Amino acid sequence: MSLDVQLALLLWGTLVGLDLVSVPQMMIARPLVAATVAGLILGDVETGLRLGVLFELFQLDILPVGAVRYPEYGPASVAAVSAGHLLVGPISLGVGAVVGLFVGMVGGMAIHAMRRRTARAIQRSAPALEAGDTEALIRVHVGGIVRDGARAALVTASGLALAWAARIVLPGALTPRGAGVLAAAATGAGIAAGTAGALRLVGYGPNLRWFAVGLTGGAIAAWFR
Amino acid sequence: MKRRFGTALLRLFTLQGSWNYERMIGVGTGVAEEPLLRDLPGGPGGPAYRSAVARGAQFFNAHPYLAGLAVGAAARAEHDGAPGDQIERLRTALCGPLGSVGDRLVWAGWLPLTAGLAVAGVALGLGSAAVVAFLVVYNLGHVALRWWALRQGWQHGLKVVVALQAPWLQRAVALAGPGMALGAGLSLPLAAVWLAGAFEPWARVALAACAGVGLLALRVLPRQVSGLRLGLGLVAVALVAGWVWR
């Protein structure tokens, strides 16, 4: 993989990481979008779509309300596609999932650490903020965005490094059977996470009927496809 | 004023840039409100402006797409000469409703609905067109909601609660739940079958077993098991099993 492509992935992962919370929340951080564009950059849209759908299922398990802490699957999806692209068959999903899940966890921890640093920066500027100092207000706010951008870049860079290592080690260490087990486990976990997340959103009220209608429709469409 | 309104709207897109555990989106709210305060008596730097900027950056939390209601309402109240403590009470009172309505409308409605339809579209063979359609459709709703919120807040000021009773909003919140349930339900079997398409028959059985056991664990032990932990745990076991089973 050329340096240009790596830099493009790093830039894309950074934008994706910024989009999750800071700027502009237009959902390029959704795994389906992040992974598909990463696939486009790598010239392997199919792997991007497959890993995007897989991590979209994991994303369904997350409801980002209040101060809840959650994994970050945007840059993780970029790293996952970097790990799984051009690998043939289920191993592509398996290797991508290993990298993506780990980077998702690291990304979530990095967000928590960054928020604590931002809180400290605000504490330091509290007297100026209480006095209505606009410069301090803008400085603190822009500082938070820059901090998040640096965090997203670091997470993406770590993810791409891990993806590079995983592409070297895992395909050689696993037989086709082992690759199948890995892909089945990752996909099974994704389906379980997506279903549990959907059920939590749906609840036991009247929406459950609509969920059942959707499931039936999806199953019929899948059957005829 | 139009230009400052536009600047405030643009700044709303960075609202959560300084999100933290103490003031939450308070600083971002203050940044978004600031352009609307420049016309206060005394101009930028005057006592009214500085007090309003300080109030705007206090603790605040709401759904980011609807926070514009509070930003616009607080700015309008400052222009109307409302007492500072009344404006602070308004901001505090808006946290709950804006969070609740926004979460139900967007995070638990519009977003999973459109994302679910995109996943279904990909699984049905639409490819990246489904992803592009998701981005366009989702953001039409997103941007319109941010713009509407800021405009309504600025229009109503202290009486901004009226905006939350708008019939279209009530209807949208009521439809968001069933829409989300339908979209999520539709996407799950399609995604499962599409992802398992390249698997050997035995691997599909393993997939079904992992999904069943995982779902049970997530439902029975929701505090201990999350999607991420389940995924990491299962791939770790699979890596060992795959390495041993040669």
Q: How far apart are CA A163 and CA B174, in angstroms?
A: 43
For tokens 């976990």, what's the residue? A189
Write down the pLDDT at residue A69: 82
Q: Which residues of B187-206 are buried (b: 16+ CB within 10 A; e: fewer)?
A: bbbbbbbbbbeebbeebbeb
pTM comes to 0.94
Please answer yes or no on whether B61 and A90 come within 8 Å at the CB atom.
no
Task: Please write the tens of the pLDDT for every residue from A152-178.
Answer: 999 999 999 999 999 999 888 888 889
Tell whether A50 lies on the interface with B, counting CB pairs under 8 A.
yes
Please answer yes or no on whether B139 and A97 come within 8 Å at the CB atom.
no
For B70, the token pair is: 């509070």
Local structure of B62: helix, strand or coil: coil
Q: How far apart are CA B142 and CA B192, in angstroms?
A: 29
Please answer yes or no on whether A206 and B178 come within 8 Å at the CB atom.
yes
Task: Please write the tens of the pLDDT for every residue from A5-55.
Answer: 999 999 999 999 999 999 999 999 999 999 999 999 999 999 999 999 999
Please report the residues numbered 7 through 36 in chain A whose beta carbons come closer than 8 angstroms to any beta carbon of chain B: 21-28, 30, 32-33, 36
Please answer yes or no on whether B16 and A25 come within 8 Å at the CB atom.
yes
Contact B72, B154 (CB under 8 A): yes
Confidence of residue B185 (pLDDT cuts 50, 70, 90): very high
Which amino acid, residue A42? L
Please answer yes or no on whether A181 and B115 come within 8 Å at the CB atom.
no
DSSP-derived secondary structure letter, B198: G
Of B101, B39, B108, nearest to B68 (Cα)?
B101
ipTM of this complex: 0.94
Q: Looking at CA atoms only, how far is residue B160 from chain A in angstroms? A: 22
Local structure of A139: helix, strand or coil: helix
